[in-house]
Every structure is written in structure tokens, then in C-alpha cells.
């Protein structure tokens, strides 16, 4: 059972990030893990983060959604968590997957403001409505996770409703995210500091290539490292990115960020690091058709270029057209620039395109991050 719980925590680990292009909502981890009424279990449980992420997936009708977690430093030694859970949170902190702060203050709302994300919280933030007017002006920007029949559901603090709603990045957010930043603190997991770094330095660098850096905090208008309180250095323009998504059977299964730093392979089970593996979502026929590495995607001077690297070839759906006569073949080794709304189709129903142009269209049952959890772990009986 312990092993099973570890697997659930690993699954949850894939759903926390501080990448502005991938995070879909902001949470305060110290708050979420204490929603005892979600499962009637221990005072604090990291599994509740998984329950809330699952609820977000259901609401957004999209698989593999990720959240931006702000974490109070005290949580790393919180005696209400198991030693295994504390170890996991520490690892997330070291890897820069979550933002660990001595004094989170209103950082969660700042992140939501800069990135235009909804906040999943039961706190009402009444005192902060002057600074963040969207708290009242945009119903659904703050939703409270509460117990529901099939797991947590959301209730908006303002205007009723039950959908977390994204807004736009604030003007300050747009400005901050146009640059890359450097923390003077050695081994900073968030803003890849001045050399050094711990055991996870390599991984942290992967997580936080300049394109995926979190938004700096603004203190008196100065870009600041939220972790170290240090003024950040300007490292030049942030590299261009394009957020792509995989849609299988009408459902967006996963988003990923393409940068100019390196191409990404998509296929049944790409061998190269950073590849997008589709195998777990494919039926037998699709698994036979789709090569281990099937297409390669590159970002060059702002253009997305797709190259077929498969045995069987692919197709292009120009403008996202689902009309069969308009589908263009993409033969093995052939390349093509993906125009706006174009999708590359690896196999009928298995498509890759720009995330904002790939809506989910089918009735949706997301894959739970909790799927590996034994029922006992999630729904502990009341003592
Ligand atoms: Zn720092």
C-alpha cells in the first residue's frame, strides 16, 4: 500500500509546475492539503492535491492539467504529513516544481494576476479586492474546491457558477514574461542562479529553461525572486515558445511547450529525452500504425515545422478541417510548416496542433492522477 501511495504521489508530481505556459490554476498547497472534508481522512494529506487537480481536469475537460502551487516553507517540516509526503514536497521544492516561500503573503494572487490564471481556494481575499479587481469583476477567477458526489467540485466566490475561469495576463505579467531573469542566489531552483546547485541542479535546469521560468515577484516595481527576496538580473529577451497539444479521440490529453532550443519528438514511445509518449492513450490498431517516434516538431523563427520521421507517414489537416478530402498526406521524411489552425494527424483521431486551436470535442472522462490510489488511501473511514 505504501508503494501504491508513492505511485500516486509520482503521478501528482507530473501535475505541478511553475511554467507560465502550462499551469492552468494556482493553489496554496498548505491550504489544499487540509481540506479534511474532501475525504474525512488525516488532518493533512498530499493526496488532496491530486483530488483537486482531478476536479480541475474534469472542469476543463482536459487530461494532464497542471497547477502552480505556492508552498509555505513550514510545510516541508509539517508533522501532519507523513515523512514520505514531506520528502516528496522537498523534492518538488528542490526541482523548482513548486514555489516554496518563507512568507507567501499574497503571492498566490500575484501569480494569478501576472499569469491570468484562476485561483482554487476557499479563502475569500476580501481585503485584496482593491489590488486585484478581477477578484470581484471576473466571476470564476476564484473558486472554492468543496466536496461533491464524484470528488471535489468548485463553487465560485463571486457570481455563483462552478467553473474556474482564466483571465488575461496583466500588463505587468506580459512585461515580466517577455524577459528571462537571473537570481544572484546560487542554485536558485526558480531563476537558475549563479552556478552551483544541489543534486537536482540538472533537473532544475531542464524544468526551468529560460522559456519556462516562473513570473518574478514585483516588490515596489522591482522584479524580485519570491524565494530569496533578491533583486533579479535581466537575462535578455525570453526565448520564443509555442504551446502545443495532443488530442486523441477528440480529447486534449496533454500540452507541451516547444522552444527554439530543441525539437520535440512525438510518437508511441520516443527514445529521446523530452519526447511526448502517446502509447498509453492508443488502441491496438493505432499503436501498430504509429512509430515509436512518429513526427518531429521544431520551432524556427516563430514557425512550427513538422517533419514526419515515421514508417507509415502522417497527414495534415489544413485549418483544422475534419473533411477527409482536404486531408493532405505527409510522407515519411517530408516536412511542412504548420499554418494557423493546421493540425498534424499521426493516425485518424490522433492529432497535434497549437493548444488554443485544439478544443476538446468529445464527452470527457479524464485519466485520474489518483487512478493508482487504493480506495483506502483516499477515503479513509472516520475514526
Ligand atoms: Zn532565487
Give the tens place of pLDDT for each residue, 337-369. Answer: 999 999 999 999 999 999 988 877 766 677 777
Q: How far is residue 366's CA from residue 8's CA, in Å, rounded to a whole number?
A: 16
Distance 130 CA to ligand 1 centre (A): 28
Where is average pLDDT lowest: 77-91, 345-359, 366-380? 366-380
Helices (H), 67-224: 83-94, 107-115, 134-137, 171-176, 201-207
pLDDT category, 205, cuts 50, 70, 90? very low
Adjacent-strand bridge partners of 72: 101
Alpha-carbon 295 to chain mean position: 23
Distance 187 CA to ligand 1 centre (A): 8
Distance 85 CA to ligand 1 centre (A): 24
Distance 123 CA to ligand 1 centre (A): 27
What pLDDT was estimated at residue 361?
72
Distance 101 CA to ligand 1 centre (A): 10
pLDDT category, 378, cuts 50, 70, 90? very low
Distance 231 CA to ligand 1 centre (A): 9
Rounded to an integer, the average pLDDT of 51-63 is 94
Res 141 pLDDT > 80: yes
Distance 190 CA to ligand 1 centre (A): 6
C-beta atoms surrounding 190 within 10 Å: 27
Distance 169 CA to ligand 1 centre (A): 23
Distance 184 CA to ligand 1 centre (A): 7
Res 272 pLDDT > 90: no
Q: How far is residue 11's CA from residue 29's CA, in Å, rounded to a whole number?
A: 16
Distance 270 CA to ligand 1 centre (A): 34
The residues, ordered by sequence, that sit 6+ positions from 248 with a Cβ below 8 Å of its Cβ are 278, 281, 282, 349, 350, 351
Distance 14 CA to ligand 1 centre (A): 23
Distance 186 CA to ligand 1 centre (A): 8
Q: How far is residue 32's CA from residue 121's CA, in Å, rounded to a whole number?
A: 8
Q: List, for residues 208-255, the tens digit of each pLDDT value.
A: 677 899 999 999 999 999 999 999 999 999 999 999 999 998 899 999
CA contacts within 13 A on the Cβ side of 224: 14
Alpha-carbon 38 to chain mean position: 23
Distance 180 CA to ligand 1 centre (A): 13
The answer to whether 140 and 118 have CB atoms below 8 angstroms apart is yes
3-state helix, strand, coil in the chain (%, to 5): 25, 25, 45
Alpha-carbon 283 to chain mean position: 26
Tell me the pairing of strands 295-300 and 264-267. antiparallel
Distance 342 CA to ligand 1 centre (A): 40
What pLDDT was estimated at residue 233?
96
Res 147 pLDDT > 60: yes
Q: How far is residue 90's CA from residue 85's CA, in Å, rounded to a whole number?
A: 9
pLDDT category, 377, cuts 50, 70, 90? very low
Q: How far is residue 114's CA from residue 110's CA, in Å, rounded to a whole number?
A: 6
Distance 185 CA to ligand 1 centre (A): 5
Distance 255 CA to ligand 1 centre (A): 27
The b/e string for 211-225 (b: 16+ C-beta within 10 A; e otherwise) is bbbbbbbbeeeebbb
Rounded to an integer, the average pLDDT of 174-201 is 77
Distance 357 CA to ligand 1 centre (A): 35
**In the chain, what percentage of residues exceed pLDDT 90?**
76
Distance 189 CA to ligand 1 centre (A): 7
Distance 188 CA to ligand 1 centre (A): 4
Burial of 281 (0-12, 13-18, 19+ CB in 10 A): middle
Q: How far is residue 351's CA from residue 249's CA, in Å, rounded to a whole number?
A: 9
Q: In whole angstroms, how far apart are CA 268 and each of 290, 315, 348, 350?
A: 6, 16, 14, 11
Helices (H), the chain: 2-13, 29-32, 47-60, 83-94, 107-115, 134-137, 171-176, 201-207, 284-289, 375-378
Q: In 3D, which of 216, 227, 297, 288 has the Cα closest to residue 256?
A: 297
The answer to whether 314 and 300 have CB atoms below 8 angstroms apart is no
Rounded to an integer, the average pLDDT of 121-130 is 93
What pLDDT was estimated at residue 155?
95
Distance 90 CA to ligand 1 centre (A): 16
Distance 70 CA to ligand 1 centre (A): 14
Q: In 3D, which of 221, 18, 187, 195 has the Cα closest to residue 100?
A: 18
Q: List, for residues 10-48, the tens digit of each pLDDT value.
A: 999 999 999 999 999 999 999 999 999 999 999 999 999
Rounded to an integer, the average pLDDT of 261-287 is 93
The answer to whether 190 and 216 have CB atoms below 8 angstroms apart is no
The CA-based angle 254-259-262, given to 5 degrees, is 100
What pLDDT was estimated at residue 359?
78
Distance 159 CA to ligand 1 centre (A): 38
C-beta atoms surrounding 273 within 10 Å: 8
Distance 371 CA to ligand 1 centre (A): 35
158 vs 379, residue with greater confidence: 158
Alpha-carbon 147 to chain mean position: 23
Amino acid at each position: 500500500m505504501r508503494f501504491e501511495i508513492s505511485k500516486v504521489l509520482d503521478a501528482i508530481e507530473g501535475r505541478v509546475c511553475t511554467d507560465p505556459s502550462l499551469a492552468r490554476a494556482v493553489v496554496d498547497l498548505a491550504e489544499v492539503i487540509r481540506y479534511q472534508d474532501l475525504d474525512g481522512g488525516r488532518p493533512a494529506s498530499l493526496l488532496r492535491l491530486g483530488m483537486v487537480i482531478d476536479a480541475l481536469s474534469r472542469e476543463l475537460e482536459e487530461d494532464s492539467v497542471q497547477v502552480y502551487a505556492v508552498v509555505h516553507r513550514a510545510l516541508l517540516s509539517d508533522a501532519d504529513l507523513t515523512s514520505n509526503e514531506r520528502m516528496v514536497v522537498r523534492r518538488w521544492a528542490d526541482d523548482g516544481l513548486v514555489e516554496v516561500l518563507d512568507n507567501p503573503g499574497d503571492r498566490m494572487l500575484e501569480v494569478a494576476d501576472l499569469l491570468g490564471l484562476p485561483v482554487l481556494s476557499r479563502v475569500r481575499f476580501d481585503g485584496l479586492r482593491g489590488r486585484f479587481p478581477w477578484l470581484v469583476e471576473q466571476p470564476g477567477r476564484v473558486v472554492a474546491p468543496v466536496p461533491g458526489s464524484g470528488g471535489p467540485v468548485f463553487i465560485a466566490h463571486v457570481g455563483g457558477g462552478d467553473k474556474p475561469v482564466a483571465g488575461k495576463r496583466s500588463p505587468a505579467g506580459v512585461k515580466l514574461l517577455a524577459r528571462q531573469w537571473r537570481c544572484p542566489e546560487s542554485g536558485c531552483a526558480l531563476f537558475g542562479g549563479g552556478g552551483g546547485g544541489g543534486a537536482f541542479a540538472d533537473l532544475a535546469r531542464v524544468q526551468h529553461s529560460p522559456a519556462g521560468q516562473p513570473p518574478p515577484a514585483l516588490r515596489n516595481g522591482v522584479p524580485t525572486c519570491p524565494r530569496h527576496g533578491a533583486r533579479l538580473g535581466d537575462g535578455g529577451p525570453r526565448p520564443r515558445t509555442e504551446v502545443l497539444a495532443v488530442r486523441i479521440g477528440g480529447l486534449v490529453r496533454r500540452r507541451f511547450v516547444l522552444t527554439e532550443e530543441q525539437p520535440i519528438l512525438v510518437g508511441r514511445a520516443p527514445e529521446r529525452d523530452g519526447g511526448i509518449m502517446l502509447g498509453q492513450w492508443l488502441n491496438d490498431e493505432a499503436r501498430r500504425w504509429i512509430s515509436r517516434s512518429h513526427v518531429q516538431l521544431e520551432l524556427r523563427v516563430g514557425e512550427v515545422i513538422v517533419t514526419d520521421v515515421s514508417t507509415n507517414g502522417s497527414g495534415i489537416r489544413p485549418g483544422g478541417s475534419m473533411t477527409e478530402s482536404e486531408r493532405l498526406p505527409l510522407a515519411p521524411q517530408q516536412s511542412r510548416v504548420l499554418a494557423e489552425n493546421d493540425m498534424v494527424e499521426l493516425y485518424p483521431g490522433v492529432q497535434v496542433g497549437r493548444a488554443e486551436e485544439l478544443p476538446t470535442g468529445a464527452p470527457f472522462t479524464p485519466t485520474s492522477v489518483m487512478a493508482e490510489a487504493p480506495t483506502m488511501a483516499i477515503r479513509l473511514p472516520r475514526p
